[in-house]
Chain A
Amino acid sequence: MKHINPLMILAILLSFWIFFATLKSKEINTRDTLNKKIKVDENIAKEIVSYKKMWENPKFYKKNIKRLLRNLRSKKINYDKREKSNTLQLSFSKVTPFDAKYILSLILNQNFKIANLNIERADNSHLDIVVKVEK
């Protein structure tokens, strides 16, 4: 009958203990890293969504342009609209400083992607404004 050395079993148990303890600590580290990565990814995704909502939202753009033009018409401010596939250009000729202030506040307070803003003094009491907005 073979005798099994208890010291050998003890050594095996100790090896298993060390193995599983190492494995556990490795897995805990992995879990922490994964949790951090998930948090970071979640934040990235949320930030992208919020920025996209602000600057890359076609529905939002259409709605705001409609509102802007309606407001301009209601104030009887004449404008010239030139639309390209990616941009929209609004030109205002010889507007009073009061109207100019109103136009600029309408455009700058909304999330229109302004590609170019040009203001020029037409005469002593009027301004020419050209705004190019990305769609």
Chain B
Amino acid sequence: MFQWLSKSKRKNVLLLDKEGIVNEGSFVEGKIDIVLTPSFYWFVKKKLPVKFNFQVKEYLPSIFEEFTNTDDLSYYVIKKNDLSWLFAYDDKVILESLKKNGIDISDVDKIYFAQNVFVEDSAVDLKNGYILVGIDGVISRIPADFVEKDSITLSDALKDKVSFKDGVVLKKYASIVDEKIVKKIMIPLFLIVFVEATEALKVWRENKNLENSGSKIFSKYSLPPTSFQNQAILSSLKKKNLEQEKIRELANILFKAPFLKGEYIAKLNISKNRANIKIKLLNNLRAKKFKNYLLKFSDLITIKKIVVKNSVADIRISI
């Protein structure tokens, strides 16, 4: 791996040039900061009629279109007094170069521009036939033969720097997903989210209304407020209704019994859940027939006891 350390406190720093990594120094564990030579970015200093950096955004493509195709470029803006320092770079190109040089993007912390790292009055020898030199306040990468000035090494150029300012983070997804496709997906997705949110809110409101109307049902009928209380009332009323229906059905069964001439009900007492009947029959054997008749209604009545004596059947029934 290419690691370079200029000072023990600082992270690993690599200078990335189109020709490859400018590699000096030693290795420490941890993340890497990458300094880009001007071969990876375009730089413009301009006085723009804006107050905030974000207002520059709309002008950026038109500013850089004279240098390159601006379709896939990312931009970075720094305000320096009255001037705006404008950077344009292609994430894909940098990512590919990092990959080519064996650097895993997940090991990279931030990317810095040489413009923000190196001082204007020194010439830094990249040892690959090029030199970084400041011309009119712009750090440029020019062939070493064109520079007469004495150059310094990369270690010397960075030795007093503990940390860098104004780093950018690369759009790592750029290699996986096209930003335009992502943006195209976003619009319908936003609409779906909006529709889902509206529907959820609508159903939530409906539920609130249902809760209100639900709580008013029992009061509308002048009943206790809870379902539990009303279920208890209903079950007691149902029980009462069933008792009364059974009394009537038993009376009906007895009055419609197939008596022979000379047979009759001598005594009948019906209360809510039981009945005592005394029946005068022609003979004791008739009691069995009468019992069979009563057993036809076993779903309604239960014969608890039947005693036959002197042609009188004494029957106890539970209902």
Give A contacts to B, CB under 8 Å.
1, 3, 5-7, 9-10, 13-14, 16-17, 20-21, 23-24, 27-28, 30-31, 34-35, 37-38, 40-42, 44-49, 51-52, 54-56, 104, 108, 111, 113-121
Report the minimal beta-carbon distance from A47 to chain B, rounded to whole angstroms: 6
Give the number of chain B interface residues (Cβ < 8 Å): 62
Stretch touching chain A among B11-19, B26-34, B132-140, B236-244: B236-244
Given contacts A7-B182, A119-B268, contact A20 B197 (CB under 8 A): yes
Report the minimal beta-carbon distance from B244 to chain A, rounded to whole angstroms: 6
Pick from A1, A5, A6, A115 the residue with the most CB of B within 10 Å: A1
Task: Pick the contact of B223: A1, A45, A108, A119 (CB < 8 A).
Answer: A45
Pick from A28, A37, A41, A120 the residue with the most CB of B within 10 Å: A41
Known contacts A10-B185, A51-B237, A55-B240, then 6 further A-B pairs from the complex at CB < 8 Å, ordered by chain A residue: A9-B186, A24-B203, A35-B210, A40-B227, A42-B217, A119-B267
Q: Which residues of A contact B221 (CB under 8 A)?
A: 45-46, 48-49
Task: Pick the contact of B207: A31, A55, A115 (CB < 8 A).
Answer: A31
Question: Is residue B290 within 8 Å, beta carbon to beta carbon, of the partner chain?
Answer: no
Name the interface residues of B211-267: CB closer than 8 Å to any CB of A. Answer: 211, 213-214, 217-218, 220-221, 223, 227, 230-231, 233-234, 237-238, 240-241, 244, 247-248, 251, 255, 264-267
Residue of A nearest to B237 (CB): A51
Question: Is residue B10 within 8 Å, beta carbon to beta carbon, of the partner chain?
Answer: no
Pick from B171, B207, B240 the residue with the most CB of A within 10 Å: B207
Given contacts A1-B56, A117-B268, contact A10 B230 (CB under 8 A): no
A3 to B167, CA, bound (A): 12
Give B contacts to A, CB under 8 Å.
53-54, 56-57, 74-77, 168-169, 171, 173, 177, 179, 182-183, 185-186, 189-190, 192-193, 196-197, 199-200, 203-204, 206-207, 210-211, 213-214, 217-218, 220-221, 223, 227, 230-231, 233-234, 237-238, 240-241, 244, 247-248, 251, 255, 264-272
CB–CB B218/A118 < 8 A: no
Report the minimal beta-carbon distance from B120 to chain A, rounded to whole angstroms: 24
Interface of A is mostly: helix
A133 to B153, CA, bound (A): 118
Report the minimal beta-carbon distance from B267 to chain A, rounded to whole angstroms: 5
Q: Which residues of B contact A13 (CB under 8 A)?
A: 186, 189-190, 193
Q: Which residues of A contact B267 (CB under 8 A)?
A: 119-121
Nearest 6 CB-CB pairings of A with B: A20-B196, A51-B237, A27-B203, A24-B200, A34-B210, A119-B268
Residue of B nearest to A8 (CB): B173
A114 to B265, CA, bound (A): 20
Task: Pick the contact of A3: B171, B177, B265 (CB < 8 A).
Answer: B171
Report the minimal beta-carbon distance from A97 to chain B, rounded to whole angstroms: 9
Q: Which residues of A contact B265 (CB under 8 A)?
A: 119, 121
Given contacts A10-B189, A41-B227, A108-B248, contact A1 B234 (CB under 8 A): no
- Please, could you name 11 A-B residue pairs with CB atoms under 8 Å apart, sorted by A? A1-B75, A17-B193, A20-B196, A21-B196, A24-B203, A27-B203, A28-B203, A44-B230, A44-B234, A114-B244, A115-B272
CB–CB A41/B171 < 8 A: no
CB–CB A37/B196 < 8 A: no
CB–CB A1/B217 < 8 A: no
Task: Pick the contact of A31: B169, B183, B203 (CB < 8 A).
Answer: B203
Report the minimal beta-carbon distance from B221 to chain A, rounded to whole angstroms: 4
